[in-house]
Structure formats: structure tokens, C-alpha cells
Chain A
């Protein structure tokens, strides 16, 4: 949302409505101008570091007293722990518990990146396909590699629907195979798409605020969208995590 004022300025200069809803997603070097190399410290670095710090603050600093009767902060940390732990156990099964820290990492990163992205002027790291594709591919590769390691060739039973009539099975196998490889695509685009769309819509409403008559409507609309975005921020983190658990279940129990 870094360009809110910039967009307003543009509108004032041009005398009309100028929207820059996507400017908030631009990756910029944090210090000075110039090329963005892979090692450059950018706004991505800043907001990811803040997410790491937020995770550290909640999960480590809030629990430092290890109180049997928890404080508010410790309760939140414990709720997050219980929420994801139960999800892993219920969806992926008891034997998926070794993956719990991994799933927890994904959940905590996404949920904090989403919520930090809702701060005005912030940069939303999870709105970038570069980020979500890596997250989704990591899950995809983990599931595929672990599935083959644990089950060997039996992992291919995932595509061979033994409960279907025999003539249908090859067709189903093709469909299952395609759906399997579409998983990382949908997994990543769902998260980035939702976050990006919401932020862009807010910015478009903000652009309309340049017209005095419309601005109250615009502000109400921004407020409403913001409320929706708060929901989306959590729900998308939840969806990403639960889909990870569903995919892990396939790796652990490939039979239908």
C-alpha cells in the first residue's frame, strides 16, 4: 500500500482518475535506487524479516514464562499450536506429526505475512507468485518425494482408482495425474491471487476518493473491503495449510 499518497497525487495532477493499484506490489531496493539483484536488501527483505520477528515475538517471547496458567499472549501461541497440530493430526493422520513443524512454519509465515500486508503502506510478500510458487512447490516436492520414499511404487496407487470400474480406471488415471500436477499451480495462485486482488481493489477504491463527492462512498467501501481482507488473510493461510495436510495425507496413505 506504499503508493496510496502517490496515487492521490497522480489523480490531482492529471485532473482525472488515475489508478495505480499494482504499484504497491513493486519490489524496490530498501537503500538507494538501482538494480534488484538476488541479494539486494529490498522491501521484500524488510517485510519478511518483520514476519519472522512477529513469529518470534508470539511463539518465543510470549511463551518465555512457560506458565501453567497462561497469559493472553501465551494463550494465543498455544491456540496457534493446537490449531495447526490438530489440523495435521485430523487431516493427515497421526503419522504426519513429524511434519508438524514444517506445516506450522508455512502457516505462521503466511498468516503473519498476510496480516502485516494489511498494515497501511506495507508490502505484502504473499501477494507475489514468486513467494507462493516456492511455498507450493516445496509442498508438492515434499509430498511427491516422501510419497515415493515411504510407499515406493505403491504411491502410484494414488492415480489408479481401484474402487472404479476397470474400463474407467485408465481415464481416471489420466485425470488424476493432471489434477496432481495442477495442485501446486492452484495452491500458489489461490493464495497470491486472493491477497493481490483484495489489495488492488482497496487501492482502486482509494483512487476514487480523489473525487470529493464520491470519497465518502469510497471510504466506506475501503472499510468494508478491509474487513473482508482481514477474513481473507486468515482464511487463505488456513486453506493453504489444510491443503498441505490433505496432500501430505496422500503421501502417507496413497490408497483411495
Chain B
């Protein structure tokens, strides 16, 4: 298309007031269209080549890889979560078992100690009884001894008193009289 056409269109659109500095609307100067279209096609071809050969496959791969990584990580996290749950269950079970076991041991120990204690108590009771019996025997012996001594002293004293009063009496009669008095 000729320049005149461009000018004509520009005049028609009313934007060519500034005269010689520009040939109306530069967009409608069809002399320059060939140049722009030529360079545009080259630019588009270059961008298309850059994008379709290098950039888009690369970005697509990166995005796919990232999606894969995220999916894997989420799966791994699920797995670990399940494991943690299992571990918690195992722990709870172990704890409950241990508690039962501990209770059992406590009961057993208590029973054992009770048995020991009972045995010791019985033994101690027996010993105490034996000691008490022994003591009683000793007391009885001491008592009998004491009574004999008192009889002797009483007979001697009685004989001495009788003699002191000026009476004579044989020892047998005094002893018999004292013995009978003491019994009374």
C-alpha cells in the first residue's frame, strides 16, 4: 500500500494535526508493515522455539517432579503416622501389661511378707511362752525356798523364844507345833 493511503486514513481519523513531524497515525503507514511483520515473525518463531524446545518441557518436568515429591512425601508422612499410631498402641499395651504384672508382684510380695510375718509372730509367741514358763518355774522355786527358809527361821525363833521363857522343849515338838501353826 502507498504512503498516500496511510495519510488519507490518518487524516480521516483526525489525528494528523501536527503536520510534517509525523505522517499521521504511524500505525496506518503501511510502508512499515512489511518491516514489522518480518521482525514479528522472527520474534515469534524465536519465542516459540525457546518455549517449546527448552522452557516448557523443563518447567513441566520440574512441576511434575515436584508433584511426585509432594505425593511421595505425603505418602511417607501417612506411613510414619500409621507407624507412630502402632507404636503408641504397643506402648499402651506394654504399659497395661506392666501395670498388671506390677499388681501381681505387689500381691505376691504382700502375701509372702504376711506369711513370714505370721511365722515370726508364732515363733516369737512360742519363745515368749517358753520364757514365761521358765520364769514361773524359777519364781515357784524361789517361793518354795523362801517358805522353807521361813519355816527354819520360825522353828529356830520359836525354840529360842521357848528357851528364853525358861521352858525346855525338844526340837521335834517345837518343829511340829510350828509346822501345824504355819499350816493353819
Chain A residues engaging chain B, CB cutoff 8 angstroms: 10, 18-20, 22-23, 25-27, 36-40, 42, 44-45, 48-49, 51-52, 55-56, 59-60, 63, 66-68, 70, 74, 77-78, 81-82, 100-102, 104-105, 108-109, 125, 127-131, 134-135, 192, 196
Contact = CB atoms under 8 A, between A and B. Distances in A.
Contacts of B31: 36
Given A20-B21, A59-B59, 18 more contacts: A20-B22, A22-B25, A26-B26, A27-B26, A36-B31, A36-B32, A44-B35, A55-B47, A59-B50, A63-B62, A78-B63, A100-B56, A105-B44, A105-B47, A108-B51, A109-B47, A128-B26, A131-B36
B60 A25 contact: no
B14 to A, nearest CB: 12
B27 interface: yes
B131 interface: no
B66 interface: yes
B174 interface: no
B137 to A, nearest CB: 101
Nearest to A49: B43
A23 B41 contact: no
10 nearest CB pairs, A to B: A59-B55, A38-B34, A101-B52, A48-B43, A130-B36, A25-B26, A27-B32, A130-B33, A105-B48, A81-B59
Interface of B: 15, 17-18, 21-22, 24-29, 31-44, 46-48, 50-52, 54-56, 58-63, 65-66, 69
Contact of A66 (B26, B34, B58): B58
Nearest to B36: A130
Contacts of B34: 37-38
A66 B59 CA distance: 8
Contact of A129 (B27, B52, B55, B56): B27
Nearest to B30: A130
A100 B56 CA distance: 9
Given A109-B43, A131-B40, A18 B18 contact: yes
25 contacts: A20-B21, A20-B22, A22-B18, A23-B22, A37-B35, A38-B34, A38-B35, A45-B39, A51-B43, A55-B51, A56-B50, A59-B59, A63-B59, A66-B65, A68-B69, A77-B59, A78-B59, A78-B62, A104-B51, A105-B52, A108-B51, A128-B26, A130-B37, A131-B40, A134-B37
Given A26-B22, A51-B43, A104 B36 contact: no
Nearest to A59: B55
Contacts of A22: 15, 18, 22, 24-26
B63 to A, nearest CB: 6
Contacts of B26: 22-23, 25-27, 128
B66 A68 contact: yes
A67 B65 CA distance: 10
Nearest to A39: B38
B51 A134 contact: no
Contacts of B17: 19
A208 to B, nearest CB: 15
A128 B22 CA distance: 15
Contacts of B56: 59, 81, 100-101, 104
A101 B32 contact: no
A125 B65 CA distance: 37
Contacts of A70: 62
B51 A20 contact: no
A205 to B, nearest CB: 16
Contact of B46 (A52, A102, A104, A129): A52
A56 B25 CA distance: 32
Nearest to B26: A25
A77 B63 contact: no
A128 B27 contact: yes
Contact of A48 (B21, B40, B54, B62): B40
